[in-house]
Amino acid sequence: MGAAYFYHLTRSPVEQALAMLIDRALAQGWRVAVRGREAARMDWLDQKLWLGPEEGFLPHGLAGGPHDADQPVLLTTAPDCPNNAACVMAIDGAEVTEAEAAGLERLCVLFDGNDDAAVERARGQWKALTDAGTAAQYWSEEDGRWQKKAERG
C-alpha cells in the first residue's frame, strides 16, 4: 500500500515544486503521472517543464501521443496511467482515490495554499484517504523550506 504526501504550496509555483518532486521520484526508479483537471493547464505545464535548466531536464510528454506507455513522466487529465506510473502527482484538485493510492508507491497532492477552495479540496482528499487507511504526510513550505507538519498511519 502506497502513501499519500500532501504539499501545501505557499511560496513555490506548482511547476517548480513539481520539478523537484518529479526529479526525486525518477531517482527512485518510478514512472510518474502528473494529473491535472484541464488540458490547457497540462499544455502550459508541458511548456514550463521544457523551459527548465538543461542540467535539470525532466523527460516527459503530454498524454494522447503514440508513445504514452514509454513516457517516464506523463502529463494527463485522465484517471488511468498508460505509462504504468508508480507515482501519481495530482494538481489543481485532480481526483484521487483510496484504491488508486493503495496500488501506487506514492500519491502526491500539490495544492495552492493561497486559494481557499484548493485548501478545502485538499482537506477533503486528506480526510477521505486517511479515513480509508492510507498512510499520509502533510508538508508545508510556509517557513521557506519544506517541513513535515503532520503524519497519519
Backbone angles phi, psi at 33, to 5 degrees: -115, 125
Backbone angles phi, psi at 32, to 5 degrees: -125, 140
Quickly name the fold that domain 3-152 has.
Rossmann fold (3.40.50)
Average pLDDT, the chain: 93
pLDDT bracket for residue 116 (50, 70, 90): very high
Report pLDDT for 143: 81
CA dihedral 53, 55, 61, 66 (to 10 degrees): 140
First to last CA, the chain: 11
Domain borders along the chain are 3-152
Whether residue 103 is predicted with pLDDT greater than 80 in this model: the reply is yes
Write out the DSSP string of 16-42: HHHHHHHHHHHHTT--EEEE-S-HHHH
Q: Each residue of 55-83: pLDDT tens digit?
A: 667 889 999 989 999 999 999 999 999 99
Q: Each residue of 7-49: pLDDT tens digit?
A: 999 999 999 999 999 999 999 999 999 999 999 999 999 988 8
Backbone angles phi, psi at 90, to 5 degrees: -100, 130
